[in-house]
Amino acid sequence: MEYDTVSDRVSTYLDEMVEIVKLISKSDVRAVVDRLYDGWLAGQTTYIIGNGGSASTASHMMNDLNKMTALPNKRRFRAIALTDNVPYITAVSNDIDYADIFIEQLRNLLQPNDVLIALSGSGNSENIIRAVNYARNHGATVIGLCGKSGSRLCENADVVVTVPAESICQQEDGHLILNHTITLALRERIAASA
C-alpha cells in the first residue's frame, strides 16, 4: 500500500507538471529571448537574482547563458548571477539590510540598457522588488520569471513569464525548464547571426 501512495504522488506531480508547462506562454518566452538577443548584440550585461531555490536557478542560468552561447567567432554573452558573491551578500545583510543584497551590487555594476532577470515564485520578496525598482529607474530592462500572475514582480517587470502552478516546487521546476528553453533558443539565434 505504501508503494501505491508513492507511485500515485509521483504520477500526480509529473502529470501536473506536464499541464503546467503547457500553460506557459510561448510568446512571452520568445519575448525574453528577443530581449536577451538584443542585449547580446549591444554588448549589454544580464544580471540574475533570486532567493532560495530561485538563487540556485539564477546561478544555473548564469552558467548556461555564458557557457552554452559561447560559439566560435561570436561575441560572448555576459551574464552575472548576483546570488553568487556570498561574502558581499552576508556583509550587506549584516551591515545594511538583507533586503538590499541585490540593489547594493547593482549600484556598483548596472549600466543603462542592461538586463535584470528576477526569478521568484511569490514575486513579492522585498530584496527582489527593491532590485527591480532600482534597475528600472536606472534604464535597465527587467525580465520577471514568476510563479502565478498578480505579484509585485509581475506588475513591475517589463517582460514577464509566469509558471502558473500553486506549488512553489513546480514553479521552480518551470523556471529551470525556462532556463534551458531560453538558453537554447538564444544559442540558436546567436549561431545564426551574421
Chain segment 49-98, per-residue pLDDT in tens: 999 999 999 999 999 999 999 999 999 999 999 999 999 999 999 999 99
CB of 78 closer than 8 Å to CB of 115: no
Question: Which of 183, 170, 180, 155 shows the shortest CA–CA distance to 65?
Answer: 183
Rounded-to-integer distance, Cα 128 and Cα 153, Å:
8
> Domain 2-192 belongs to what architecture?
3-Layer(aba) Sandwich (3.40)
Return the DSSP state at 85: -
Q: Is 194 exposed, middle or buried (0-12, 13-18, 19+ CB in 10 A)?
A: exposed
Evaluate if residue 177 carries a pLDDT over 70: yes
H helix intervals, 51-96: 53-68, 86-95
Q: Is 119 exposed, middle or buried (0-12, 13-18, 19+ CB in 10 A)?
A: buried
Give the three-class secondary structure for 116. strand
Rounded-to-integer distance, Cα 112 and Cα 137, Å:
9
The answer to which of 2-11, 124-133, 172-181 has the lowest mean pLDDT is 2-11
Q: Which three cell numbers stand for residue 87?
A: 561574502
Cβ neighbours for 156, distance < 8 A, ≥ 6 positions apart: 129, 132, 133, 136, 142, 144
Domain boundaries, the chain: 2-192
Evaluate if residue 104 carries a pLDDT over 60: yes
Local confidence band at 9 (pLDDT 50, 70, 90 cut-offs): confident
Rounded-to-integer distance, Cα 193 and Cα 1, Å:
56
Computed over every residue of the chain, the mean pLDDT equals: 96
Measuring CA to CA, how many Å separate 131 from each of 67, 150, 179, 183?
25, 18, 20, 23
Evaluate if residue 7 carries a pLDDT over 80: no
Chain segment 149-173, per-residue pLDDT in tens: 999 999 999 999 999 999 999 999 9
Identify the pLDDT of residue 3: 57
